[in-house]
């Protein structure tokens, strides 16, 4: 599953909130114009980020911008491992499933394009998150979606195996 790409435009110094992608997906973000500094925190940091469910099914932190968090009130955040990526035009950032990220643009307008991806590697996370999101409020809808996607995943795996067998026979 590949979600439609999002175009993100930020003015000088603007901040996109600290968040984690929905449905166990990973994020690919390519910087087109301007620059952006992206802070990345691993999934285990959610214990200190006060996560709240976002409208898109992902997670947002209740904390303000990381640079403005009072570390005296949130001492565990000082111990969290924060990675920083500096994106310039043409750079693409991979954000693994469950990782938190916050972006801050440089001193001029910045434009990037991002997409949510689900692949064989994170399909199990996708199904668990789908069930968690859809299954609670609409159990039948969540069950049908999960069964459909499991069948879809099995069919794709079978097709991939058959293609690999054909390639092996040709060699």
Average the pLDDT over 38-54 and give the result. Answer: 85
52 has which bridge partners?
A: 60
Vertex 145: Cα angle to 122 and 55 (nearest 5): 75
pLDDT grade, residue 72 (50/70/90)?
A: confident
Q: How confident is the model at residue 76 (pLDDT cuts 50, 70, 90)?
A: confident
Helix-helix angle 123-137:139-170, to 10 degrees: 160
**pLDDT one-digit tens code per residue, 132-144:** 665 556 666 666 6
The share of the chain scoring above pLDDT 90, in percent, equals 30
Q: Which residue has the higher pLDDT, 87 or 168?
A: 87
Q: Would the pLDDT of 53 be above 70?
A: yes
Average pLDDT over residues 89-112: 94
pLDDT band at residue 32, thresholds of 50, 70 and 90? very high
């Amino acid at each position: 599953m590949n979600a439609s790409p999002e175009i993100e435009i930020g003015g000088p110094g603007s901040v996109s909130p600290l968040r984690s992608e929905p449905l166990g997906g990973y994020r690919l973000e390519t910087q087109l114009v301007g620059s952006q500094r992206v802070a990345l925190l691993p999934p285990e940091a959610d214990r200190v980020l006060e996560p709240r469910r976002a409208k898109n099914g992902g997670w947002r932190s209740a904390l303000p911008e990381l640079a403005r968090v009072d570390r005296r009130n949130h001492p565990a955040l000082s111990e969290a491992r924060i990675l920083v990526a500096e994106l310039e035009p043409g750079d693409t950032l991979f954000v693994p499933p469950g990782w938190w990220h916050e972006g801050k643009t440089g001193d001029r307008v910045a434009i990037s394009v991002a997409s949510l991806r689900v692949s064989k590697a994170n399909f199990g996370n996708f199904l668990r998150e789908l069930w968690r999101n859809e299954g609670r409020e609409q159990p039948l809808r969540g069950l049908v979606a999960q069964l459909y996607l499991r069948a879809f995943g099995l069919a794709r795996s079978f097709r991939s195996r058959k293609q690999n067998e054909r390639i092996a026979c040709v060699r």
